[in-house]
A = this chain, B = another copy of it.
Amino acid sequence: MPMINENISRRGLMLVLSSPSGAGKSTISRKILGRDRNLAMSISATTRPSRPGEVDGKDYIFVGQPEFDKMVETQELLEYATVFGNSYGTPKTPVETALSQGHDVLFDVDWQGTQQLKQNARDDLVSIFILPPSIEELERRLYARAQDSEAVVKGRMAKATSEMSHWAEYDYIIVNHDLDVSVAQVESILAAERLRRDRQIGLSRFIRDLGVRQ
């Protein structure tokens, strides 16, 4: 049985997960997406060339720079950024379509992307920041991830620390001690936010059918 109120139409929400690299965000996202049929990953438009195996419209929407610039100009992007000379952004239309159909959209963006999304979609946004359980554990995971030199890991640590300094801009904070608990925590937040009165746009009608005059 689903964890939403059946027969009451609802506006979807935008779930933002941010974390420093090494805190477990990607694994958590994958697990949740695999278990929740009403949640889909947001697909970014990018100017970067596609890599072997990547599917246009599924992994990314591959566009040329002029097309991307036009999206920026027409305010079709909810957020965008340039990384190593390539542009990435979130087209507004597919997100708006999903939300209006009662579907939820997951975003894997950093603090800058979150700030842009907030400016463009405040009421639909639910933001979660995932922290590592300790600095030692974060260091361990960044080492485990790639067998790189200490200098490289130190650079990653600095980047992680910089990302974490934005924790106070998020609605919810999860400390990822245990993957299964963290997944359950994100799922609880999603379940709760779906039950918020103001997202259940069909409630007025339902209440009227209960014989209550508005």
A interface residues, Cβ below 8 angstroms from B: 1, 3, 5-6, 8, 129, 131-132, 134-135, 138, 157, 161, 164-165, 167-168, 170-175, 177-178, 180-181, 184-185, 187-189, 191-193, 195-197, 200, 203, 206-207, 209-214
Among A138, A189, A195, A209, residue most surrounded by chain B Cβ atoms (within 10 Å): A195
5 contacts between A and B (CB under 8 A): A1-B178, A3-B188, A129-B197, A135-B211, A172-B197
| Contacts A189-B192, A191-B185, A192-B191; A134 near B210 (Cβ below 8 A) | yes
Contact of A175 among B5, B138, B171 (CB under 8 A): B5
Q: Which of B6, B171, B206 sits near A197, CB closer than 8 Å? A: B171
Residues of B within 8 A of A206 (CB): 131, 175
CA distance A167 to B209 in the complex (A): 14
CB neighbours of A5 from chain B (8 A):
173-175, 177
User: Which residues from chain B contact A138 at a C-beta distance below 8 Å?
Assistant: 210
In the complex, what distance in Å separates the CA atom of A186 from the CA atom of B205? 23
B contact residues around A170 at 8 Å (CB)? 197
A177 to B6, CA, bound (A): 9
B-chain residues with CB within 8 Å of residue A188 when the two chains form the complex: 3, 187-188, 191-192, 195
One of B3, B174, B197 near A168 (C-beta < 8 A)? B197
Give A91 Cβ to nearest chain B Cβ, in Å: 29
CB A186 to nearest CB in B, in angstroms, measures 9
Whether B192 contacts A131 by the Cβ 8 Å rule is no
Chain B contacts for A185, CB-based, 8 A: 3, 191, 195
Q: How far is the CB of A81 from chain B (nearest CB, A)?
A: 22
Residue on B nearest A170 in the bound complex, by CB? B197
- Complex Cα–Cα for A90 and B115 (A): 41
In the complex, what residue of chain B is closest to A176 when comparing beta carbons? B5
A141 to chain B, nearest CB (A): 13
Is B165 a contact partner of A212 (Cβ separation < 8 A)?
A: yes
A200:B173 contact, CB within 8 angstroms? yes
